[in-house]
Each structure stands twice: as C-alpha cells, then as structure tokens.
Amino acid sequence: MSLKFVNRKDELAFLRERYNRENFEFFVIYGRRRIGKTELIKNFLQDKPHIYFLCDKSGTERNISRLKRKIARYLDEPPVETNDLEEILSHLVKRSNERIVIVFDEFSYLVEKDSTVPSQFQAVIDEVLRSSNTFLIFCGSSISMMEKGVLSYKSPLYGRKTAHIKLAPIPFSSFPDFFPSNSIEKNVEFYSALGGVPFHLEKFSDEKSTIDNIKNKILDKRGQLYEEMDFMLQEELREPDVYKAVLSAIAAGNTKVVRIANRSGIKAQDMDKYLKVLIRLGIVKKEIPPTMIKSKKTLYSIDDNFFSLCFLFSEPFKSDLEIGEIKTAQEKLDSEFNTFVGKKFEKLIREEILKKMGIIRAQKVGRWWGHYRDNRTHERKEIEIDIVALNETEILFGECKWRDNVDGIMLLKRLKEKAKYVEWSGKRKEFYLLSARSFRKRSLEEDVYHFDLKDMEKLLKHEKF
C-alpha cells in the first residue's frame, strides 16, 4: 500500500458504497495539495471501468482534444469529430455498455482558464449524465477555485453534486502506520514538524533523527521540501508575497490584527480578508477562549505544523540558506526545536487525544488566556491554560509539559491556582488533565488524569491506559 493511502479507509468505503448504488453520481473531492486525493481516487478505480483525465493549464481547447483521444483509446475507435463537450460525453455514455467512472483530476485548472467550464458541465449533467448510471468525479487542489467554481451557490453546478469529500490531513493516530519503527516520542516530533500531509511525511526517514530530517529535507536548498511552502502558496494564492508577510508577522509573535498589520505593512482594514483566506486554507487559526462566545481577546496563530516550522526555522534565514549557509538556522533549530515540539504536543492533546480519552463530552475546546490583579502588588498578571474543555455542566483544565520526570502533584497545584480565575458557571464539575513525556510523581486526587507517552501508545492501540 502506498504511504499516501494510509488511513483513507472511511473515504474509500464511502466511495464504494455510492458506486454500488448503480445510479448517477456526481462526486466532488477536494482538499489542499499533497493531501492524497489522487491516491484515494486511484485506489477506488481499481477493477472498475474508468477514464481518468488529468486536466492541465493549457486551456479548454487543448484539454478537450486530449480528452477525445483518451476516450477514443477507451472505446478503441477514432476520436469523435466534434469539440462540443456535451456531444463528446454523450457519445462515450452511449458507446459504453457498462457503468463507467469518469474522473476529471485538477478540475480547478479548467475553471481557472475558462469561466464557462462550469456552465458547460451543467449542460452535460442535466442533458446527458443524469439519466445514466455514470459515476462522475471532479477533483481539485485549489480549494478556493473548487468552492467558487463547483460548490458555491453562485456556480452553475450548484445543487448537482450527489456527495463530496473534503480530504483532511491524516490524524496522528495513523502515524504508526507510516513509521512503524518509530518510537511514540519520535512520531510526536514528526507530527510537530510536518502535520498530517502524506506527501511531506513520505520525505522523512525513520532511520534519521527528526532534527537531521529537517536539516536535510527543509533547510538544505537541495532538499525535497525546501521550496514546498512557497510552491503551496503560489499555487493557491494570487498574492503569495502578501500572505507570506502576514504569516511572518504571526510567526514572530504578533497575534492580534493591529499588530499583524503593523508588522506586515498591510492596512488593518484589509487584514480581515487575508486572514479569512488563510483560515479557509487551514494555515491560520482564529482563537477565542472557549468560555466566551464573542471576545475582544481574539488571537491568530499558524495552525499548520509545517508552515509553523518553516516560518520559525527556515523562512527568516532564507537568504543564507540560498547560498548553502545553514549554520544560523541550524543553531536556532538545535536550541529551540524542543520548545517548538512542546507547543505542538499541547495542540495534539487538545485537538485529537482529548477526544479519544473520553473524560468529558466537550462542546468547546481550546486554549484559555486572561489576567488578574495581584492582591499584594496590584500588578496585572497574564495567565494562560493549555487546555480548557467544557460542556453545560462540566469543565476540564489541562496542562502539557514536553518534559520527562514531571512532578504531577506540583503541576496540579499550579493548574488549580490558574483555574480559579476562569469565570464560567457557578456550579460546575471540574476535571484536570496533566500531560507530559513522563511523570515521577502522580496525584491520587479524584477526577485528576495523568497522561504520558506510554499512555498515549496504549490509547492509540485501543488499550486501556
């Protein structure tokens, strides 16, 4: 099995279930580049009559010419004379005596070059395909183009799809399938550096340390991921340099709109549109404390692990890296990578592991931050809690430490001290979650949970921890 296809069982089962219905299906599959869409489709197509057509940016006329030749080979006959899309596909459906899957991969390239393409396919679906048992798939990597050209209510194709899949990064729970020889600690490091994009994960070697993988694949200009971030931005965005300025500002610690605007040199009133695009692409995250519905405390952070890594350890040193000088970037990586992993470990517990633990049925989960006045000095002091998860009657407070031999008793004491400043529901059932690489002391108090890497390993194997 290809590495890219790890953990796509649910999506594949969904496609097969719809295929077995025998009626017309119009499936839309989209998601960011490198996520494994094509691999999913190719696995689905195995042992099925199909035409797989990879669109390019050469324009409608040349793509139709290529499509005609592809269909001719499938039917084992000369290409049809017409260039009308409706007539071409009508001929295919009439000549094919079996249920056929027709795939247009990178469909967004067609829409990008010709805005009339959605209207042409609207006619094809309404007049030709809807009354057949054809299984039509549109696949695309440009999220904005797929949403605008296919899924938006303004698109001529709106309301015609029978199902869609927005393919997400693979979860951390699938990392052992990618890297079965890795320790759980090393998989946390790989997750921290790359997130769950299969194409990126394929480039890391489980025979090398995480630091060495980053140096060889990301910091070295000959590395396979050296230009990856720029490529992803250029393919998706019209103003990649502007978005890079926004991301650089956030990576430098500017998390509020005004500060991001000042640092990036972009007007504050224009910042909202750039942030919304980055949020939609899954690169940036908007955060408010989970105890609040609306808040002036809104913060923005880089949510994508790979982008976060690049903007911290690679992008600031790009001019040096371009001439092969990696010393400064390497020194920063060596000294700060452990802290970086600590932040991503916190994110992993908060966004994936907590749900698997099932301590409470959380309706909201996130970081919490606020302040209080010191009773003695009257100074304003900032406080932050790594994890706050809540429902109508219960609340969980969590603290994460990417360290060994943590004193869980002292950690709990400090967490409880911070938790008393969280204003939410007078009557509440409180739980506490303490996470670390390992503990030397654990509290025996009720409703207090300790979770280390050994516990994580058991949880991922569906064992009781």
| 3-state SS record for 117-167 | HHHHHHHHHHHHHCCCCCEEEEEECCHHHHHHHHHCCCCCCCCCCCEEEEC
Q: What's the whole-number mean pLDDT along residues 52-71?
A: 96
Do the beta carbons of residue 408 and residue 443 sit within 8 Å?
Answer: yes
Cβ-in-10-Å burial (0-12, 13-18, 19+) of 388 comes to buried
Residue 464 has pLDDT above 70, yes or no: no
Per-residue confidence at 463, pLDDT binned at 50, 70, 90?
Answer: low
Do the beta carbons of residue 275 and residue 303 sit within 8 Å?
Answer: no
Residue type, 58: S
Neighbouring CB atoms inside 10 A of 15's CB total 24
φ and ψ at 296, to 5 degrees?
Answer: -75, -5
**List of domains in the chain:** 3-166 (3.40.50.300), 173-344 (1.10.10.10), 358-460 (3.40.1350.10)
Residue 309 has pLDDT above 70, yes or no: yes
Do the beta carbons of residue 203 and residue 228 sit within 8 Å?
Answer: no
Do the beta carbons of residue 329 and residue 312 sit within 8 Å?
Answer: no
φ and ψ at 460, to 5 degrees?
Answer: -70, -20
What is the pLDDT at residue 371?
A: 87
What is the pLDDT at residue 149?
A: 82
**Structure token digits, residue 169:** 């990064």
d(CA 366, CA 397): 10
In 195-289, DSSP assigns E strands to 284-287
Helices within 46-84 (DSSP H only): 60-75
Q: What's the whole-number mean pLDDT along residues 324-330?
A: 96
* Mean pLDDT over each residue of the chain, to the nearest integer: 94
What is the pLDDT at residue 104?
A: 98
Q: Among 230, 227, 221, 228, which residue's Cα sits nearest to residue 325?
A: 221
d(CA 186, CA 100): 44
Do the beta carbons of residue 129 and residue 112 sit within 8 Å?
Answer: no
Question: What digits encode the pLDDT tens for the residues 137-187?
Answer: 999 988 888 888 888 888 999 999 999 999 999 999 999 988 999 999 999
Neighbouring CB atoms inside 10 A of 180's CB total 9
Q: What's the whole-number mean pLDDT along residues 279-290?
A: 94
Least confident of 210-219, 236-245, 302-311: 236-245
Least confident of 26-35, 372-381, 407-416, 431-440: 372-381
Q: How many residues does the chain have?
A: 465
What is the pLDDT at residue 1?
A: 38
Q: Which residue has the tokens 């953990």?
A: 7
Residue 4 has pLDDT above 60, yes or no: no
Residue 63 has pLDDT above 50, yes or no: yes
Q: What's the whole-number mean pLDDT along residues 204-216?
A: 97
What is the pLDDT at residue 428?
A: 85
d(CA 370, CA 382): 6
In 358-428, DSSP assigns E strands to 364-373, 380-390, 394-401, 406-407
Least confident of 134-143, 204-213, 293-302, 356-365: 293-302
Q: What's the whole-number mean pLDDT along residues 440-449?
A: 97
Least confident of 108-112, 263-267, 274-278: 108-112
What is the pLDDT at residue 378?
A: 80
CA distance to 14, 25, 42, per residue, from 22 (Å) = 14, 9, 20
What is the pLDDT at residue 451?
A: 98
Residue type, 157: L
Longest CA–CA separation in the chain, Å? 89
Per-residue confidence at 330, pLDDT binned at 50, 70, 90?
Answer: very high
Question: What digits encode the pLDDT tens for the residues 392-442?
Answer: 999 999 999 999 999 999 999 999 999 999 988 778 899 999 999 999 999
d(CA 180, CA 203): 15
Measure CA 331 to chain center: 29
**Structure token digits, residue 121:** 């396919």
Residue 370 has pLDDT above 80, yes or no: yes
What is the pLDDT at residue 178?
A: 87
**Structure token digits, residue 329:** 């970037």
Q: Which residue has the tokens 């966004």?
A: 351
Torsion angle defined by CA atoms of residues 264, 325, 202 and 283, in that order, rounded to the nearest 10 degrees = -10
